[in-house]
Amino acid sequence: MTAATKEKPAAADEGQELTDGFNLIIDALKLNGLTTIYGVPGIPITDFGRMAQASGIRVLSFRHEQNAGYAAAIAGYLTKKPGICLTVSAPGFLNGLTTLAHATTNCFPMILISGSSEREIVDLQQGDYEEMDQLAIAKPLCKAAYRVLHAADIGIGIARAIRSAVSGRPGGVYLDLPAKLFGQVMNAEAGRKSLVKVIDPAPAQIPAPDAIKRALDVLKSARKPLIILGKGAAYAQADEAIKTFVEKSGVPFLPMSMAKGLLPDLHPQCAGAARSTVLKDSDVVVMIGARLNWLLSHGKGKTWGDAPKKFIQIDIEPKEMDSNVEIAAPVVGDIGSCMSALIEAMGKDWVKAPGDWSGAVSAKREENVAKMAPRLMNNNVPMDYHGALGVLRTIIKERPETILVNEGANTLDLARGVIDIYKPRKRLDVGTWGVMGIGMGQAIAAAVETGHKVLAVEGDSAFGFSGMEVETICRYGLPVCVVIFNNNGIYRGTDVNKAGTDPATTVFVAGARYDKMMEAFGGVGVNATSPDELKRAVNAALDSGKPTLINAVIDPAAGSESGRIGNLNPQSALKKK
Ligand code: ADP
Ligand code: TZD
Ligand code: MG
């Protein structure tokens, strides 16, 4: 321990201006433009939260750390700055940890700051209050993990956390702050000097010229090219460059779920409604900020058909190349720099993708859209998914600034297909893991970070994972409208347990009124039984900006097992019929 950080009472340093751990953490965050914290208070961070709030940082207190963590993760995605989640030791830390792993898996920049117990006691396992070796536990679940023991190291510790979160492939960072650190006192001037403003935290990564040339050579050889846009492309905020590249190439594009709206879903080149056709028939595929993981059937198998394919992959992470199939033209760099280099190298005389292919894709798309149209206009009572989603689709078309949050099984898979998105980063969802529980955390962060209105379309099961945060939405008066697709259960509300009196494992209380939950906290609750009622209620909520929860009564028999991914569900061959 250096002289500067010796713990002595302020009185001993009379005449000398002092600072402490609390203030240094706050100053370090503010110096780096990190002015919003999502968390849950308690020992040892209660006063820290108060002081942060008093200093002008916006501190949003949640009811459970997991929801605060999902809020921080999506804040990172929306802003390209690390979202900050603040938790207490052991149990609070563990509640937040799921979301740190989620942020890392989804390539969202986030910092989980957790208070922790005293090292001396933790390391001797002497049973401290909320004892846990948090740093060791966090390490395998995040991109980087650091602990700060001395007040004089707070500036460097926070700088390292920020740079680790946002540079290269973004991800989750753990920052361990033991209780004693907060109260450590040091000379204020030395403290100020110890802070670090991170310069260029996510440096541009310029692609190699020969990688660009190779990529364009492969693209030129294509007869049936396809572009796949992923959430990495949306994250990059290189919207104009991506649009220019896509339009100049004339290549049909397929947006992954959170890349919807990067170019509007109604763009003439959008192949969203012809997904199976373009995956099967394409011969060259340009991946932009998207991985060939399970969501794209690992780039092989039935989904991709028999036609041989060449892949061009644009990604900031070199290790992503060849992860599932051979990449003929890897382009490693940040998407903004890669797009600019590609556009420049295409020159003035670039020949657009073959018209017969584009025409075939458009025809397939129109055919599928026409097939779907009548289902979306049905007025059935009880509602089915299509009737309810048809209404929400029109509302988003009329209000394209609205941010859509979406989770569930059928509620997710069908909404993703039906609700067109018109602007970048307006659709947030379960991401790479297909995790339930992101709903209210994402809705809160979306409202807080962007100031836009939020429509959260939630399966009744999905909502249950974060439902208590409707109180948080009411407490902060956020313009969030939650629509619960209430089909009395997981996938369907019709399962019966034939072996006894307990309910089946996938069903909930029939006819539950989730709208009453919102009313309990002073928000607006509506029970909607028809598409017309649903439409009126959502429009009223988005007009007023008042916290609203609409219980949309959906036919319990309308959904299918596991939504659209039933094929991933193992089945027992020995199952009794
Ligand atoms: P999706 O689920 O939409 O297919 P993924 O999360 O699988 O998207 O893929 C996102 C990819 O984007 C990751 O491989 C990540 O490394 C990459 N990525 C994230 N940010 C950038 C960036 N700024 N530039 C280039 N690649 C990026
Ligand atoms: N736990 C977590 C954290 N993530 C999960 N994905 C699941 C459990 C399993 N799961 C799904 O994959 S979807 C789902 C669960 C529990 C809920 C589906 O029911 P829902 O939607 O009511 O949200 P639908 O419309 O009834 O299909
Ligand atoms: Mg359900």
CA of 234 to the centre of ligand 1 (A): 8
Domain closes at, from 299, 332, 363: 363
Closest CA to 158 of 32, 296, 8, 290: 32
User: Which atom of ligand 2 sits closest to the CA of residue 563?
Assistant: 27
Identify the CATH number of the domain in which residue 330 sits.
Answer: 3.40.50.1220
The reply to whether 431 and 466 lie within a common domain is: yes
DSSP states along 74-97: HHHHHHSS-EEEEE-SHHHHHHHH
Ligand at shortest distance from the CA of 290: 1
Does residue 171 have its Cβ closer than 6 Å to ligand 1? no
Euclidean distance between CA atoms 540 and 549, whole angstroms: 11
What is the predicted pLDDT for the residue at 13? 55
Euclidean distance between CA atoms 506 and 492, whole angstroms: 7
Q: How far is CA 375 from CA 321, 394, 416, in A?
A: 41, 14, 16
The reply to whether 66 and 186 lie within a common domain is: yes
What is the predicted pLDDT for the residue at 5? 47
What is the predicted pLDDT for the residue at 9? 52
The answer on pLDDT for 10 being more than 90 is no
Q: Is 227 helix (H, G, I), strand (E, B) or coil?
A: strand
Q: What is the mean pLDDT of the chain?
A: 96
pLDDT confidence of 571, banded at 50, 70, 90?
confident
The reply to whether 50 and 148 lie within a common domain is: yes
CA of 274 to the centre of ligand 1 (A): 23
CB-neighbour burial class of residue 536 (10 A; exposed 0-12, middle 13-18, buried 19+): middle
Angle value at C-alpha 99, between 93 and 100, nearest 5 degrees: 75
Does residue 290 have its Cβ closer than 6 Å to ligand 1? yes
Euclidean distance between CA atoms 326 and 429, whole angstroms: 29
CB-neighbour burial class of residue 302 (10 A; exposed 0-12, middle 13-18, buried 19+): exposed
User: Which atom of ligand 2 sits closest to the CA of residue 458?
Assistant: 23
Q: Token pair for residue 143? A: 């991109």
Euclidean distance between CA atoms 468 and 470, whole angstroms: 5
Phi first, then psi: give them for residue 129, nearest 5 degrees: -55, 125
Identify the CATH number of the domain in which residue 499 sits.
Answer: 3.40.50.970
Does residue 563 have its Cβ closer than 6 Å to ligand 2? yes
CA of 74 to the centre of ligand 1 (A): 14
Inside any domain, residue 573: no
The reply to whether 48 and 175 lie within a common domain is: yes
255-277 average pLDDT score = 98
Phi first, then psi: give them for residue 499, nearest 5 degrees: -95, -5
The answer on pLDDT for 488 being more than 90 is yes
The reply to whether 457 and 561 lie within a common domain is: yes
CA of 438 to the centre of ligand 1 (A): 19
Helices 335-346 and 239-249: crossing angle in degrees, nearest 10, is 30
The answer on pLDDT for 432 being more than 60 is yes
Phi first, then psi: give them for residue 387, nearest 5 degrees: -60, -45
CA of 316 to the centre of ligand 1 (A): 8
127-149 average pLDDT score = 97
Residue to probe by mutation, ligand 2, list 490, 495, 565, 569, most atoms within 8 Å of CB = 490
pLDDT in tens, 499-551: 999 999 999 999 999 999 999 999 999 999 999 999 999 999 999 999 999 99
pLDDT confidence of 3, banded at 50, 70, 90?
very low
Query: Is the separation of the CB atoms in 558 and 409 below 8 Å?
Result: no
Does residue 564 have its Cβ closer than 6 Å to ligand 2? no
User: Which atom of ligand 1 sits closest to the CA of residue 291?
Assistant: 7
CB-neighbour burial class of residue 233 (10 A; exposed 0-12, middle 13-18, buried 19+): buried
pLDDT in tens, 302-318: 999 998 999 999 999 99
Inside any domain, residue 322: yes
Ligand at shortest distance from the CA of 457: 2
CA of 466 to the centre of ligand 2 (A): 12
Inside any domain, residue 540: yes
Domain carrying residue 482 = 377-568
Q: What dihedral do alpha carbons 71, 75, 76, 77 form, nearest 10°?
A: 100
Does residue 479 have its Cβ closer than 6 Å to ligand 2? no
Residue whose structure tokens are 């072996």: 499
Does residue 295 have its Cβ closer than 6 Å to ligand 1? yes
Contacts of 2 (CB under 8 A, 6+ apart): 150, 152
Does residue 461 have its Cβ closer than 6 Å to ligand 2? yes
Q: What dihedral do alpha carbons 91, 81, 542, 258 form, nearest 10°?
A: -90
Determine which helix (DSSP H) or strand (DSSP E) holds 550, and give its type and residue range: strand 548-553
pLDDT confidence of 279, banded at 50, 70, 90?
very high
Does residue 320 have its Cβ closer than 6 Å to ligand 1? yes
Q: Is 403 helix (H, G, I), strand (E, B) or coil?
A: strand
Helices 46-54 and 21-31: crossing angle in degrees, nearest 10, is 50
Euclidean distance between CA atoms 461 and 156, whole angstroms: 43
Domain closes at, from 340, 363, 386: 363
Determine which helix (DSSP H) or strand (DSSP E) holds 392, and give its type and residue range: helix 385-398
Its sign, for the CA torsion 287, 288, 291, 296, is negative
The reply to whether 216 and 358 lie within a common domain is: yes
The reply to whether 520 and 462 lie within a common domain is: yes
The reply to whether 51 and 184 lie within a common domain is: yes
The reply to whether 462 and 316 lie within a common domain is: no
Euclidean distance between CA atoms 413 and 423, whole angstroms: 20
The answer on pLDDT for 286 being more than 80 is yes
Inside any domain, residue 318: yes
pLDDT confidence of 577, banded at 50, 70, 90?
low
Does residue 116 have its Cβ closer than 6 Å to ligand 2? no
Does residue 114 have its Cβ closer than 6 Å to ligand 1? no
What is the predicted pLDDT for the residue at 576? 65
Q: CA gyration radius for the chain? A: 25
DSSP state of 256: -
pLDDT confidence of 15, banded at 50, 70, 90?
confident
Does residue 342 have its Cβ closer than 6 Å to ligand 1? no
The answer on pLDDT for 228 being more than 60 is yes
pLDDT confidence of 472, banded at 50, 70, 90?
very high
User: Which atom of ligand 1 sits closest to the CA of residue 334?
Assistant: 24
DSSP state of 503: P
Does residue 317 have its Cβ closer than 6 Å to ligand 1? yes
Does residue 408 have its Cβ closer than 6 Å to ligand 2? yes
349-378 average pLDDT score = 96
280-298 average pLDDT score = 98
Residue whose structure tokens are 């017309």: 532
Query: Is the separation of the CB atoms in 177 and 111 below 8 Å?
Result: no
Longest dimension (CA), the chain: 83
Amino acid identity of residue 136, one-letter, is A
The CB-side HSE value for 536 (13 A sphere, CA atoms) comes to: 8
pLDDT confidence of 4, banded at 50, 70, 90?
very low
Does residue 512 have its Cβ closer than 6 Å to ligand 2? no
Closest CA to 368 of 376, 356, 380, 379: 376
Does residue 228 have its Cβ closer than 6 Å to ligand 1? no
455-478 average pLDDT score = 98
Does residue 439 have its Cβ closer than 6 Å to ligand 2? no
Q: How far is CA 440 from CA 250, 373, 406, 457, 496, in A?
A: 38, 30, 10, 10, 30
Query: Is the separation of the CB atoms in 518 and 470 below 8 Å?
Result: yes
Residue to probe by mutation, ligand 1, list 335, 416, 428, 438, most atoms within 8 Å of CB = 335
CA of 102 to the centre of ligand 3 (A): 23
The reply to whether 181 and 263 lie within a common domain is: no
Does the model's pTM come out above 0.85? yes
Question: Over pLDDT 90: what percentage of the chain?
Answer: 95
Q: Is 487 helix (H, G, I), strand (E, B) or coil?
A: coil
> Which amino acid residue places its CA nearest to atom 9 of ligand 2?
436
Question: Over pLDDT 70: what percentage of the chain?
Answer: 97
Cis peptide before 264 (omega within 30 of 0): no
Is beta strand 524-528 parallel, antiparallel or unpaired with respect to 454-459?
Answer: unpaired
Inside any domain, residue 282: yes
Domain closes at, from 363, 397, 431: 363
Q: How many domains does the chain have?
A: 3
CA of 230 to the centre of ligand 1 (A): 6
Inside any domain, residue 457: yes
The answer on pLDDT for 180 being more than 60 is yes
CA of 315 to the centre of ligand 1 (A): 6
Inside any domain, residue 43: yes
The reply to whether 98 and 149 lie within a common domain is: yes
The reply to whether 219 and 359 lie within a common domain is: yes
pLDDT confidence of 34, banded at 50, 70, 90?
very high
pLDDT confidence of 2, banded at 50, 70, 90?
very low
Inside any domain, residue 576: no
Cis peptide before 170 (omega within 30 of 0): no
Does residue 329 have its Cβ closer than 6 Å to ligand 2? no
The answer on pLDDT for 85 being more than 50 is yes
What is the predicted pLDDT for the residue at 307? 85
pLDDT confidence of 575, banded at 50, 70, 90?
confident
